[in-house]
């Protein structure tokens, strides 16, 4: 039986947002096309492809991995199971980063654990005067980041392998940002939803989720110029502990910023010592 666009969306039994994303991908069109052509009858090949995509989503595979794409800060990024799926809450970290880079000025920026490169590439794209370094320990993740840098045609970005700061001796930055692993090992959320499909090494960090954040906060002063900022994403219940870590490490003007849901998701501070 041939189905129209509208009928296919309903018949998929998926969340409407997921269904529309998969049908857009199957047809190679945008939302406006789906709206304007809701009565269009799908070909057999289109119906089969959409059905196959919908079946993958039904068993839990993330839409971003099925389509291979995810929007972040109004830019489109390639994603694979080698990297975390960029999320709306992480856009807050990009916003904080951009606030600390003078428009038209030059800044040295470091993105630790870059994954898909979404933060680094967003910063490089919107602050073309900045020189951005994006590092990750995973070669598979770096391949995705390099492809995204090419797709977005950013020229002020260096992508390199480094286990956190290990390959950066002697370098100094005006701004360091990171979306590190911060979920506690054993957290039941790791066995639910999209997290089941994402790389565990990019999600979990020891028993309280703070091991990577502790390392970053402790080491960052060696890589910041005086007056340089550190900002990082963390879990919904970790803001107070992150501020304590920053204060104990000697950071000043320590802050936490809440996302649109009112949840503190990003913390940081300024290094104002020699």
The pTM (predicted TM-score) of the whole model is 0.93
pLDDT score of 191: 79
The CATH homologous superfamily of the domain defined by 69-271: Vaccinia Virus protein VP39 (3.40.50.150)
Mean pLDDT of the chain: 95
pLDDT score of 230: 98
With contact defined as beta carbons under 8 Å apart, do 41 and 3 qualify? Answer: yes
CB atoms under 10 Å from CB of 192, counted, come to 10
pLDDT band at 125 (very low <50, low <70, confident <90, very high): very high
The Cα angle at residue 115 between residues 245 and 204, in degrees rounded to 5: 50
Rounded to an integer, the average pLDDT of 208-217 is: 95
Q: Which tops the pLDDT comparison, 250 or 184?
A: 250
Domain ranges of the chain: 5-59, 69-271
Kindly tell me if the per-residue pLDDT of 183 is higher than 90. Answer: no
Kindly tell me if the per-residue pLDDT of 168 is higher than 80. Answer: yes
20-61 pLDDT, tens digit per residue, is 999 999 999 999 999 999 999 999 999 999 999 999 999 999
Kindly tell me if the per-residue pLDDT of 165 is higher than 80. Answer: yes
pLDDT band at 188 (very low <50, low <70, confident <90, very high): confident
pLDDT score of 1: 61
With contact defined as beta carbons under 8 Å apart, do 68 and 148 qualify? Answer: no
Rounded Cα distance between 163 and 142, Å, is 12
What is the token pair recorded at 112? Answer: 């630790």
Pairing of strands 252-258, 108-112: unpaired
131-144 pLDDT, tens digit per residue, is 999 999 999 999 99
SS (H, E, C) the chain: CCCEHHHHHHHCCCCHHHHHHHHHHHHCCCHHHHHHCCCCECCHHHHHHHHHHHHHHHCCCCHHHHHCEEEECCEEEECCCCCCCCCHHHHHHHHHHHHCCCCCCCCEEEEECCCCCHHHHHHHHHCCCCEEEEEECCHHHHHHHHHHHHHCCCCCEEEEECCCCCCCCCCCEEEEEECCCCECCCCHHHHCHHHHHCCHHHCECCCCCCHHHHHHHHHHHHHEEEEEEEEEECCCCCHHHHHHHHHHCCCEEEEEEECCCCCEEEEEEEECCC
Kindly tell me if the per-residue pLDDT of 241 is higher than 90. Answer: yes
With contact defined as beta carbons under 8 Å apart, do 180 and 114 qualify? Answer: no
With contact defined as beta carbons under 8 Å apart, do 249 and 219 qualify? Answer: no
């Amino acid at each position: 039986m041939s189905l129209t666009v509208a009928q296919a969306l309903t018949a998929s039994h998926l969340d409407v947002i997921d269904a529309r994303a998969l049908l857009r991908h199957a047809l190679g069109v945008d939302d406006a096309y789906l709206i304007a052509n809701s009565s269009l009858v799908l070909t057999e090949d289109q119906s089969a492809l959409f059905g196959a995509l919908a079946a993958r989503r039904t068993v839990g595979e993330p839409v971003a991995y099925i389509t291979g794409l995810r929007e972040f800060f109004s830019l489109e990024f390639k994603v694979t199971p080698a990297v975390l799926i960029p999320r709306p809450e992480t856009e807050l970290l990009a916003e904080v980063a951009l606030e600390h880079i003078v428009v038209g000025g030059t800044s040295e920026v470091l993105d630790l654990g870059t994954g898909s490169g979404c933060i680094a590439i967003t910063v490089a794209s919107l602050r073309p005067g900045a020189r951005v370094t994006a590092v990750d320990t995973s070669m598979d993740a770096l391949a995705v980041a390099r492809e995204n840098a090419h797709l977005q045609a950013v020229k002020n970005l260096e992508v390199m392998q480094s286990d956190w700061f290990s390959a950066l001796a002697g370098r100094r930055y005006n701004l360091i940002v990171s979306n590190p692993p911060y979920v506690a090992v054993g957290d039941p959320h790791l066995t639910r939803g999209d997290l089941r499909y994402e790389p565990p090494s990019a999600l979990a960090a020891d028993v309280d989720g703070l091991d990577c954040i502790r390392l970053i906060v402790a080491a960052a002063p060696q890589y910041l110029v005086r007056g340089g900022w550190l900002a990082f994403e963390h879990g919904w219940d970790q803001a107070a502990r992150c501020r304590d870590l920053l204060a104990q490490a000697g950071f000043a003007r320590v802050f936490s910023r809440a996302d649109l849901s009112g949840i503190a998701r990003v913390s940081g501070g300024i290094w104002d010592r020699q």
